[in-house]
């Protein structure tokens, strides 16, 4: 995976990182090209491991046959899984995610991703206004073409979560994978207690990620389009939000 330097995303990440009282919200938004680089060894390892498992007699009754990426006996499923693992390794270089399991990821819809991200950011950032929300989704659409993406959430156990060691109250880690562009956009936001602060009620960070099984799949998508039905041009927007 190759990191793509997009100044607008770096600025948006800074705008959505905020400290208030004893809490801090930290956001990272980065894009990566899926073109092979130093990840070739990882790709070969995943390809070999999962193609071999697909030949197992118990494959059809295992989670691998119905993974979030599709049947792992199929190469596109293994390829997309490897893209997300490689992205995690790039975003969190101090960790090695080679042993992460396909069940650690969940496939979600765009409307669900929008709902979870909007709720989390609004909870952690009081200044995440409707206008700021529109700017945020417009920028993401320009970078990754949201409606062409497969979207996944990384939901590891606490002992495998990079944010857990930093004492996060909650975190979201969502991938927007556009195979046509051969690109991944990674979004993460987390709410932390600042060093020396005491746990307790606060206006910052009351959001709690819920199980996807508990969410209403019929939830309608928010409309971030202009009156003409087109996404607004980010060049016309002011990304210097006062957070």
97-109: pLDDT as tens digits:
878 888 899 999 9
Instruction: Please tell me the number of Cα atoms within 13 Å of 205 on its side-chain side.
Output: 26
Mean pLDDT value of segment 117-133: 86
Q: Has residue 45 got a pLDDT over 90?
A: no
Question: In this predicted structure, which of 9-18, 71-80, 116-125, 161-170 has the lowest mean pLDDT?
Answer: 161-170
Question: In this predicted structure, which of 120-129, 145-154, 173-182, 234-243 has the lowest mean pLDDT?
Answer: 234-243
Question: What does the buried/exposed string (b/e) look like for 17-48 if buried means 16 or more CB atoms within 10 Å of the residue's CB?
Answer: bbebebbbbbbbbbbbebeeeebeebbeebee
Q: Has residue 112 got a pLDDT over 90?
A: yes
């Amino acid at each position: 995976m190759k990191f793509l330097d997009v100044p607008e995303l770096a600025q948006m990440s800074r705008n959505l990182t905020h400290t208030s009282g004893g809490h801090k919200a930290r956001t990272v938004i980065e894009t990566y090209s899926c073109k092979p680089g130093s990840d070739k060894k990882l790709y070969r390892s995943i390809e070999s491991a999962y193609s071999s498992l697909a030949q197992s007699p118990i494959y059809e009754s295992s989670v691998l046959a119905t993974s979030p990426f599709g049947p792992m006996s199929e190469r596109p499923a293994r390829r997309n899984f490897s893209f997300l693992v490689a992205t995690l390794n790039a975003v969190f270089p101090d960790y090695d995610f080679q042993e992460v399991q396909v069940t650690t990821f969940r496939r979600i819809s765009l409307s669900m991703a929008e709902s979870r991200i909007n709720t989390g950011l609004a909870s952690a950032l009081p200044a995440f206004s409707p206008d700021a929300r529109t700017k945020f989704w417009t920028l993401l659409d320009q970078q990754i073409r949201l409606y062409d993406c497969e979207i996944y959430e990384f939901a590891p156990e606490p002992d495998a979560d990079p944010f857990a060691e930093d004492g996060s109250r909650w975190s979201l880690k969502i991938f927007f994978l556009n195979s046509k562009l051969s690109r991944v956009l990674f979004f993460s936001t987390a709410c932390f207690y600042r060093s020396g602060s005491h746990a307790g009620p606060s206006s910052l960070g009351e959001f709690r990620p819920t199980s996807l099984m508990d969410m209403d799949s019929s939830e309608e998508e928010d409309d971030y389009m202009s009156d003409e039905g087109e996404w607004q041009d980010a060049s016309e927007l002011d990304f210097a939000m006062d957070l």
